[in-house]
Structure 1
């Protein structure tokens, strides 16, 4: 069994100059493909259950799915709650067997974010698992605007909460469908100059692959969350499978044809984070 906590994979990544991919899962087909890709590449992987995933699959079921994949995997697999918004939701994920909780208090005033994140970090650590928090606000492509992370607030947040990973807002946005942007490396350096906690980039699909590689090697960014990039790969593969024969109706056969393309896409993502 290679079930791991977030700290289990981020501490070596930080020490050795690489990053670990937090891959956003929506169902069995993609999470299975992500583990297969990680095994081929010989690297750890973080399976993430975000709000859209939890909207149609209950947390206790997701916990069992993640742990089942981890038990058979040859590489470390983290079962991670992504964007938990309440203490109760984080508690449910812990009880469901998740090994990492990401509490998102980024829309709240600084002190409230610190207090609530610290409480969840304490709960997680007492249970022997990890906690990620967010300081600053990572916005959404064509939606809510970002609020960049203040380096001094980041240092305060890291110290006061005891999080194992800290998500920051440095030019990254969620749901970006291309890689035309890039991250503010000056702000990253300023944050890193004030705190040594492993850093996390949400909205990693919008970050050019070469910048991911450079930052993984040269900074404390140890985790890139990737969702949109792999959703696109799954959607293209599913469309091809359906359109190849208008008489097809067997979902098992159709969905099976998404596996190889998603594995290939996930391998490309994982390769951008290696040291």
Structure 2
């Protein structure tokens, strides 16, 4: 069994100067490919159930899927709740077998965010699992604007919540389809100067690959969330499978053809985060 907590994969990454990919899942086909890619590269992987995934599949089912993959994998696999917005949601994930909870209180006041994140971190730690929090709001492409992380707020948040990982807003944006942006290195360095908690970048698909690698190997960013990039790869593979034979209708046959392209795309993502 290789089910791991977030702390168990991020602390070695912090010391070893590499990062671990938090891969946003939507269904069995992509999560199975993500684990296969991690096994091929010999690295840990974080399977993430975000809001859109949970809207499609109930948390208790996702927990069983993640744990089944972890228990049969040759590398550490984290079963991670991504963007949990309430105590109830986080507790349900814990009860469903998740090994890591991410509580997102980034839209709340600093005081409320700290208080609620600390409560969820305490619940997670009492159960022997990990907790990620977010300080500073990471916006959305063609949607809500970001509010950058203040380093002093980050220092206070890290100490008072006791989180195992801290998501920060430093120029990253969710759902970005191109890689033309870049992260605010000066802000990252200022945050690193006041805390040793492993840092997390949400919206990693929009970060240029060269910058991902440089930060994985030369900063305290130990986790990059990748969603849009791999969803696009899955869409391309599915479209090719459907169009190759318009008379086919068996979805099992069609979906099977997405596996190898998804493994290949995921391996490329994972390699960028490895130590030199």
TM-score by length of 1: 1.00
> C-alpha distance in 2, partners of 1:72/1:84?
26
Aligned to 1:75: 75
User: How far off is 1:227 after superposition?
Assistant: 0.1
Q: Tell me what 1:117 maps to.
A: 117
Q: Does 1:144 align with 2:139?
A: no
Q: Could you tell me how far apart the structure 2 residues matched to 1:47 and 1:256 are?
A: 20
Q: CA deviation at 1:82?
A: 0.1
CA displacement at 1:156 relative to structure 2: 0.3
Q: Give the structure 2 partner of residue 49 of structure 1.
A: 49
Matching residue of 2:35: 35
- Count, aligned residues: 275
The separation in 1 between residues aligned to 2:75 and 2:59, in whole angstroms, is 23
| Residue 98 (structure 1) shift | 0.1
Q: Which 5+ residue runs of structure 2 have no aligned equivalent?
A: none
**Counterparts of 2:116 and 2:265 in 1: how far apart (Å)?**
36
C-alpha distance after superposition, 1:239-261 (max 9, x if no partner): 00001111010000000000000
SS in 2 for 1:120: helix
Pairing 1:92-171 to 2, within 5 Å after superposition: 92-171=92-171
C-alpha distance in structure 2 between counterparts of 1:4 and 1:104, whole Å: 21
Map 1:249-264 to 2 at 5 A. Answer: 249-264=249-264
Q: Distance in 2 between matches of 1:261 and 1:174?
A: 24
| CA–CA distance in structure 2, aligned partners of residues 229 and 28 of structure 1 | 17
Instruction: Specify the SS of the correspondent of 1:55.
Output: helix
Do residues 274 (structure 1) and 265 (structure 2) align? no
Shift of 1:75: 0.2
CA distance in 2, matches of 1:92, 1:238: 32
Distance in 1 separating the partners of 2:208 and 2:52: 25
C-alpha distance in 2 between matches for 1:88 and 1:72: 29
Distance (whole Å) between structure 2 residues aligned to residue 72 and residue 99 of structure 1:
16
Counterpart of 1:174? Answer: 174
Which sections of structure 1, spanning at least 5 residues, go unmatched? none
- Could you tell me how far 1:28 is from its partner in structure 2? 0.1
The CA distance in 2 between the partners of 1:208 and 1:42, in whole Å, is: 23
Moved over 4 A (4+): none
**Alignment partners' CA distance in 1, 2:256 and 2:185:** 40
- Spell out, residue by residue over 1:82-141, the C-alpha distance to the aligned partner (whole angstroms, 9 max, x if none): 000000000000000000000000000000000000000000000000000000000000
Supply the distance in 2 between the matched residues of 1:41 and 1:112 (Cα, whole angstroms).
40
How many angstroms apart in 1 are the aligned matches of 2:41 and 2:53?
25
Q: Which residue of 1 aligns with 2:201?
A: 201
SS at match of 2:248: coil
- Paired residues for 1:204-223 under 5 Å: 204-223=204-223
Superposed CA RMSD? 0.3
* 3-state SS of paired residue (1:163): coil
